[in-house]
Amino acid sequence: MPTRSAPVLVYDGDCSFCTASVDFLTRWVRPKGTVTPWQFADLEALGTTQERAEHEVLWISPLGAVYGGAQAVAKVLLSAGGGWAWLGGLLTLPPVRWIAHGVYRLVAANRTRLPGGSPACALPASRRPGCRSAS
């Protein structure tokens, strides 16, 4: 697997809640790396699959390590430095890591009900209106 010069944050660009969350991260947290919707990413070259990208946000290190869900969020925060890095480091430690995983799964399962969410978020990517499936 080739190395990259910067990490890559991969998210669901068809989900309004996910997009709003990433917009917040890029504006206020300012992670170091590239941010891209999975629909426009070469997932195979990144070392992951569409199935995984549909399931959770992904952080892919320059060396190709793939972190998903709450651990991807922790890596985003760590990359930003400062107080954000402190919070990201906390998210990697048990039992906080276990709680973060549960909270992430709860939010992901209910993203259609959260601000910015839409009914399309609940559908598999292949059934979303205007889907730009990468497969």
Query: Does 97 map to a domain?
Result: yes
Residue 130 is predicted with a pLDDT of 46
Query: Does 32 map to a domain?
Result: yes
Work out how many domains the chain is built from and give that number.
Answer: 1
The whole model's pTM is what? 0.83
Closest CA to 33 of 7, 63, 4: 7
101 within 8 A of 109, measured Cβ to Cβ? no
- Domain range spanning residue 70? 8-119
Residue 103 is predicted with a pLDDT of 97
125 within 8 A of 50, measured Cβ to Cβ? yes
Query: Does 126 map to a domain?
Result: no
pLDDT digits (tens, 9 = 90+) for 89-108: 999 999 999 999 999 999 99
